[in-house]
Amino acid sequence: MTQPLRLGIAGLGTVGIGVVKIVKKHAQLLEARSGRPVTISAVSARSRNKNRDIDISQFAWEDDPVALATRDDVDVFVELMGGSEGPAKASVEAAIAAGKHVVTANKALLAHHGQELARSAEAKGVILRFEAAVAGGIPVIKALTEGLAGNEIDRVMGVMNGTCNYILTRMYDADLPYDVVFEEANQLGYLEADPNLDVGGIDAGHKLALLAAIAFGTQVNFDAMELEGIQRIQIADIEHAADMGYRIKLLGVAQMTGRGLEQRMSPCLVPASSPLGQLEGGTNMVVIEGDSIGQVVLRGPGAGEGPTASAVMGDVMDLARGFAVTTFGQPADTLRPVRGVKATKSAPYYLRMTLLDKPGAMAKVASVLGDAGVSIDRMRQYGHEDKTAPVLIVTHKTTRDSLDMALSGLEETGVVEGAPVAIRIEEV
């Protein structure tokens, strides 16, 4: 009989239990599709006695995930604990050193340590895979490393945090302010323990950094990511965008330019009629543009027990079949370091600011914008509110450098209350 592929699973939260359920439920299907049994030898988690609504007594238990990673009866270490440091990092390093394959859903770990872990895995002749770390159940890693491997990738973009998409969609659908929907999402359990990982764009930025490394053959460079979350988006922005035929999304964009790698995760206006504009709730979408394929749109559930466990098992099944691919689609030593740059391509921007009720205030704004080379396409002023007036401006296409110069100048005019909100209008 063909030897089984034996898993050691560290982390029995939502995703870990989902993997256990798939292995138990589809044992015959997995064996038929891979040509060998897939089994679980041992597991590890913070608490052994927690009620998980599934029997794990048949598996050996390890209190220490590092001990689990080095067991003789484990062929593949499945790391589902999360975190860029601590037990997750230590156990993955131990598994690789012990000659074990690794499957992980840990985007933070790979965004910060992916290059060194990939090198270590290749040196030991083992495979490190992470389909579940990006966009939940969407097989975007496989798409880039396998199906689109014959393409030179021009651009990768997408909505990769379901919580942010839920919040922005809910604000639009129910006409509710950000703070109310944020609390609603928290009560529903959608937010991370540190909510800023979600609403600050960090979680999605980790994912984009991994996709960029594969797409452009570069070392992961999360530190060069431009990050802006959705905390400053107001219901007024949602409404103004809708009036102009747009929806606001936390959008990640990565593309190679002549000056370096552009990686940005920030709120953008996208056409309401586009696939990204029509994306609702917690769903994720990744758009890949290649020289041969043109544009490919991948859409699906971005989180949850079933979708993420499905992605984990996709990697496990490749290992069961003996299919080997390097961590980032090419040998780690060939991934080149690259300089991070701000957005270089011109785009129109949506600007919202609050002007003080002073003579010549609007003229000063127009002058600052003009001095920075930013021209006004459309402008609308709303009713006065306590000696202030909300103003909405849509610019013609301009560079980010010019816009930043204008924003800095606006704060020095003495007629703008607080910092203006600037949102890029993205062509998709």
Burial class (CB in 10 A: 0-12, 13-18, 19+), 259: exposed
Quick one: which of 26, 22, 56, 54 has its CA closest to 41? 56
Alpha-carbon gap, residue 227 to 208, rounded angstroms = 11
CB atoms within 10 A of CB 362: 16
d(CA 77, CA 61): 14
Whole-angstrom Cα distance, residue 182 to residue 229?
13
What is the identity of the amino acid at 184?
Answer: E
Whole-number Å distance between alpha carbons of 64 and 8: 12
Structure tokens belonging to residue 14: 């939502």
> In the annotation, is 207 catalytic?
yes
**Residue 394: CA count within 13 A, CB half-sphere:** 14
Long-range contacts of 398-404 (CB under 8 A, 24+ apart): 398/346, 398/347, 398/348, 398/349, 398/373, 398/374, 399/343, 399/344, 399/346, 400/342, 400/343, 400/344, 401/342, 402/372, 402/373, 402/374, 403/349, 403/372, 403/374
Q: Please give the structure tokens belonging to residue 325.
A: 């691919």
Both tokens assigned to 424:
């890029």
Residues 90, 66: contact at Cβ < 8 Å? Answer: yes
Which one of 207, 249, 345, 397 is the catalytic residue?
207
Q: Do residues 104 and 132 make contact, with C-beta atoms less than 8 angstroms apart?
A: yes
Positions annotated as catalytic residues are: 207
